[in-house]
Structure 1
Amino acid sequence: MSKTEQTAPGATPPGTSAVVTGQDAARVAFAAFVGTALEWYDYFLFGTAAALVFNRLYFTTLDPAAATLAAFATFGVGFAARPVGALVFGWLGDRMGRRPALLITVVMIGVATGLIGVLPSYAAIGVAAPLLLVLLRLLQGIAVGGEWGGAVTLAVEHAPPEKRGRYAALPQIGSPVGTLLSSGAFALVLLLPSGSFDSWGWRLPFLAAFPLLGIAVYIRRKVEESPLFDEMLKQDERAKVPALDVFRQAWGRLLVAMASATLGVGGFYLLTTFMISYGADTLGLSRSLMVNGTLVAAVAQIAVILVMGRVAERFGPGRVTVWGGLLTALLAFPVFWLVETKNPVVVVLAMAAGIGALSVAYAVSGALLAELFPARLRYSGVALAYNLAGALTGFLPFLASALLGTFDGASWPVVLLLIGLSLLTALGGFLGERMRVRDNVVAV
C-alpha cells in the first residue's frame, strides 16, 4: 500500500467491495453539478446583493460604511450556519443515504432564496426586514452546509478510482456556473434605471430560484444511491453518530481537510464579494464593471477546473492543491495592483487571473477531501471540513472592509490576508496527499 493509500479509522474492510461504472458516474456527476449550480446561484446572489443593494434597503438607519459592514456581516451569517447543516445533513447522509439528504438541501435553499425576492424593505416593515433577511440567510447556510459535501461524496462514490478527479471536479463547476448565473442576472437588472432596480429589479434574480428549483429536483430524483452506501447497509457498517466519530477518530484528517479548503472558500469571496465592494466604493469603478469582471473570471474558472480535475488523476489532488496555493500567493499583490490601475480591461483580466489561480486548488478540493475520509464517515467529514473552513473564512469580506477602513483605504493588509490563506491551503494539500485513503470498489 502506497503512502497515498493509507487505511483510515473506520475504513471499509478489505473483504467488501462496491461496483461502479463509468456510465453511472457521468450521469450522477452531472446531476450533482446541476444541483450544486443552483445552490451556488442562490448563495452567490446574496453576496452580490450584499455589495450592491442590501446595505441601502435593509440597513438604512446606518451611515454608508456601517451599512456595508452590516450587509457583509449578514452575508457571513450564512457561513456560520453551514457547520450546522454539515452536522444535520452529514448525519442524514451517512445514516439514511446520500440521495435523500441532497434532495432536502436543494429544496431548502431554493425556497429560502425565492422568499428573499418577496421580502419587504426596511422602509416597509422596519426592523423586521433585516431580521427576516438574516433568518433566510441562515436557512441558506444550513442547506449549503449539507449540499456540497453530499454532491462531492455521491460523485466520487459512483466513479471508478482512476477517474475520480474528473468526476469530483464536476460539482466544483457548479460554483463558477452559479457565479455566471447570479452575476449575469444582476448585470441584466443593473441595466434598469436606479429607481426601478432598487424598488423591484434586484428581486427578479431571487424569484428565478423557484423555477430553477423545479429543474434541479426533477434531475436529482433520478439519481441512484451511492453503491458504497448500499454496501455499508448490507454490512451494517454505518456510524451511529458520524460527526462524533469524525472528531474522535479522524480529527487530524479534519484539520488537514479544512486547511486545504480554506483558499477555495475564503479566497474566492475576497476576490468576488469584497472586490466588487472595493472597486465600486473605494476605487470609484462602476458596479457593472466589477460584476462583469466576476463573469469573465467565472469562465476562466470553469476552464481551470476541467483541466485540473484531469491533472489530479495523474499527480494527485494534494500536489495540485499545493500548486494552487503557491500560485495564488505569488499573484496576490499583482492582482490588487492591477485592479487599482482602474483601467477596465486590466481590472477584468486581473480578477480573472486571481480567481483562476485559486481555482487550481478549488478544482481538486472535492477529490482530496473525499479521499481523506472513509466511506462510513465521508459525508460528515467532507461537509464538516468544507463548512468549518467556510465558517472561519465567511466573514473575510467583513474583515477586509474593516481593514480597509483602519488603514485609510490601503489594500496591502487585505493582500496579506489572501497570502496567508494561500499558504495554509498549500500546507493542507502537502499533508493531505500523504493521508489519502482508498475505497474497495470494482469498476466495470
Structure 2
Amino acid sequence: MQRTAHPQRPETSPRTVALGAFAGTALEWYDYYIYGTAAALVFDGQFFPELSPFAGTMASFATFGVGFVARPLGAAVFGHLGDRYGRRRILMVTVVLIGAVTGCIGLLPTYAQIGVAAPILLATLRLLQGISVGGEWSGAATLAIEHAPKEKRGIYGVMPQMGSPVGSLTATAVFALVSTLPDAQFDSWGWRVPFLLGFPLLLVALWVRSRVDESPVFREMMTQQRAAKRPLVELVRTSGRRLVVGIAVSFVGIGGYYLCGTYLVNYGSDTAGIDRTALLNAATLASFINLCLYPLFGRIADRVGPGPVAVWGAAASAVAAFPIFWLVGLGSTVGVAAGLIAGVVLVSISYAACGQLLSEMFTSEVRYSGVGLSYNVSGAISGFVPLAATALLAATGQNLWAIAVMLCVFSLITLFAAVAAKRLRVVEL
C-alpha cells in the first residue's frame, strides 16, 4: 500500500529531511560522547571503586564497548523493520529509545549505594543504548539520501555526520562546564547532569523528526510491491561482498575517532597527568573544526563522488599517524591536545563521505539493513578500540608507536575499501 505524505502540509523538502536527520543523530552522538567521556573520566570511580585504577579503567571502557556489540543487533532489527515498514516510523522509535536510556543513566545509583547491581544496571542501559543507536544513524542517512536531489546527495548525505560534531561539541561543553565544580560535587552529582539533559534534548529531536515525511524511494517501492519479505536474508544472499566492503569503509571514521578522541582523553588525563578540562577543550575545538569542514567535504563529494573523498581522508590519516602520536608522546598539554585535534579532524574526512558511499552501495529493498549492518558491525569492532589501546600500551611498555601503527592500519583498511566501494555502487536512487 502506498505511503502518502501528511495531508496537512506539502511534501517534505530535502532540507527539512536533512534537518530531521541531523537532529536525531546529534542526540545520538551527544548520548554516545557523554558516555565515552564519562567512561574515560568518571565511571571507574563511581561504578568500579573496588578495582585498581588500571583495572577500573579497563572495566569502564568494557562497558563502553558493550554498547557497540549491541549495535549490529539493533541494525539487524531496525534495518529489517525500516526496509519492510518504512524509514520514518522506525526513526521515531530509535530517537525515543536513545534519549530515554541516556536520561536513565543519569539517575543510576552508584556502587557505593547499591553495590554490584550498579555496574550491572549501567551495562544493561548501555546495551539498550547500543541497540537503539544501531538503527538510528543508518536510517537517518538512508532517509536523507533518498530524499535528496541527485546533484546534492553529498551535501544532504553529510547532514547525519554533522550530528556527530554537534553532539560532541555539546557533550564536551557540558562536561567541561560541570568539570569546573569542586571534585566532591562533581563526583556526587555533577557527572549526572550531562545524562539528565538527554530528556529535554529528546523532546526537541522528536518534534523536528515528526515533521519529516516518508522517503519517496520507499513509497515507490511499496507501490511497485518490491519490498523484500526478509531483507536481512536478501542482503546476505545478494550483497554479501558489499556488506564486507561497507564494514571496512566505515572503520577509520569510527575506530579512528575513538582512538584519537576518547582514548587520548583518558591517556592525557591518567597517564600524562594533564588537566581534564584542557583535554575536553581540545576535543571541543576538534569537533568545531569538523562542523565547519563537513559541508565542504559534502560539496566536494557532489563534484567528484564520495569515493575519492573517503580515499583522500584515509590516506591523510595514514600519513599523519606517526606525527600525531609523536606529538602525544611529548607529554605536554600542547602536544597531547594538538595530536588529539589533528587525529580527530583527519579521520573525520572519510567519515564525511560514509553516508552517501554506503547508501549508494545497496538497492532500496535492502538499503536500511545494508547501511546499518555495515556501519554498526564496524562500530562494534571500534567500540573496543580504547580498551585495546589501553592494553597494547601496557603490553609494550608505554610505547605510543604501537598506537600509531593501530591508526595507520585502520586508515589503510578504509582506503582500500573505499576504492572497492566505488566499483560496487548501485546508483538507482
Regarding TM over 0.5, the answer is yes
Counterpart residue type for residue 37 of structure 1: A
CA distance in 2, matches of 1:196, 1:299: 29
CA distance in 1, matches of 2:173, 2:334: 18
Counterpart residue type for residue 43 of structure 2: F
313-322 or 48-57, which moves further after superposition?
313-322
Residues 83 and 142, structure 1, Cα contact 8 Å, conserved in 2: yes
CA distance in 1, matches of 2:96, 2:398: 41
How far is the alpha carbon of 1:23 from its aligned partner?
A: 7.3
How far is the alpha carbon of 1:309 from its aligned partner?
A: 0.7
429-438 or 96-105, which moves further after superposition?
429-438
User: 1:61: which partner in 2?
Assistant: 50
CA distance in 1, matches of 2:305, 2:94: 30
Counterpart residue type for residue 297 of structure 1: A
- 1:336 aligns to 2:310 (yes or no): no
User: 1:136: which partner in 2?
Assistant: 125
User: 1:351: which partner in 2?
Assistant: 340
Deviations 1:11-30 (A, max 9, x none): xxxxxxxxxx9971111001
- 1:107 aligns to 2:96 (yes or no): yes
User: 1:83: which partner in 2?
Assistant: 72
User: 2:292: which partner in 1?
Assistant: 303
Structure 2 counterparts to residues 118-129 of structure 1, below 5 A: 118-129=107-118
Q: Which runs of 5+ in 1 are unaligned?
A: 1-20
Structure 2 residue matching 1:364: 3-state secondary structure:
helix
How far is the alpha carbon of 1:339 from its aligned partner?
A: 2.3
Residues 12 and 213, structure 2, Cα contact 8 Å, conserved in 1: no
Q: Which runs of 5+ in 2 are unaligned?
A: 1-9
Deviations 1:190-235 (A, max 9, x none): 0000000000000001000000101111111110000000001111
Deviations 1:163-208 (A, max 9, x none): 1000000110000110001111100000000000000000001000
Residues 57 and 121, structure 1, Cα contact 8 Å, conserved in 2: yes
Deviations 1:63-113 (A, max 9, x none): 110000000010000000000000110011100100011000000010100
How far is the alpha carbon of 1:294 from its aligned partner?
A: 0.6
- 1:274 aligns to 2:263 (yes or no): yes
CA distance in 1, matches of 2:336, 2:296: 25
CA distance in 1, matches of 2:18, 2:150: 14
- 1:289 aligns to 2:289 (yes or no): no
CA distance in 2, matches of 1:74, 1:397: 11
CA distance in 2, matches of 1:267, 1:197: 29
CA distance in 2, matches of 1:22, 1:350: 46
Deviations 1:331-384 (A, max 9, x none): 111111112324434433332221111111000000000000011110000000
Counterpart residue type for residue 137 of structure 1: R
The two structures have a TM-score, normalised by structure 1, of: 0.93
User: 1:312: which partner in 2?
Assistant: 301
Residues 282 and 409, structure 1, Cα contact 8 Å, conserved in 2: no
CA distance in 2, matches of 1:282, 1:350: 15
- Equivalent residue pairs, number: 420
Deviations 1:225-264 (A, max 9, x none): 0000000111111111111111111000011111110011
Counterpart residue type for residue 86 of structure 1: A
User: 1:397: which partner in 2?
Assistant: 386
Deviations 1:359-413 (A, max 9, x none): 1100000000000001111000000000001111210100000011111211111
Deviations 1:257-310 (A, max 9, x none): 111100111100001110001111111111111111110100111122111111
CA distance in 2, matches of 1:22, 1:411: 53
Structure 1 residue matching 2:158: 3-state secondary structure:
helix
Structure 1 residue matching 2:250: 3-state secondary structure:
helix
CA distance in 2, matches of 1:275, 1:24: 40
Structure 2 residue matching 1:408: 3-state secondary structure:
coil
How far is the alpha carbon of 1:140 from its aligned partner?
A: 0.6
User: 2:4: which partner in 1?
Assistant: none
CA distance in 1, matches of 2:184, 2:301: 49
Counterpart residue type for residue 183 of structure 1: T
User: 2:427: which partner in 1?
Assistant: 438
CA distance in 2, matches of 1:246, 1:192: 50
CA distance in 1, matches of 2:12, 2:423: 30
Deviations 1:396-442 (A, max 9, x none): 100000011111211111111111000000011101111111125xx
Residues 102 and 146, structure 1, Cα contact 8 Å, conserved in 2: yes
Counterpart pick for 2:349 among 351, 360, 373: 360
CA distance in 1, matches of 2:34, 2:151: 36
Structure 2 residue matching 1:119: 3-state secondary structure:
coil
Counterpart pick for 2:232 among 221, 225, 243: 243
CA distance in 2, matches of 1:44, 1:91: 27
User: 1:148: which partner in 2?
Assistant: 137
User: 1:261: which partner in 2?
Assistant: 250
Counterpart residue type for residue 300 of structure 1: I
Q: Aligned Cα RMSD in Å?
A: 1.3
Residues 22 and 159, structure 1, Cα contact 8 Å, conserved in 2: no
Structure 1 residue matching 2:107: 3-state secondary structure:
coil
Counterpart pick for 2:403 among 394, 399, 414: 414
CA distance in 2, matches of 1:291, 1:231: 46
Structure 1 residue matching 2:402: 3-state secondary structure:
helix
214-223 or 341-350, which moves further after superposition?
341-350
CA distance in 1, matches of 2:12, 2:317: 35
The two structures have a TM-score, normalised by structure 2, of: 0.96
Residues 296 and 348, structure 1, Cα contact 8 Å, conserved in 2: no
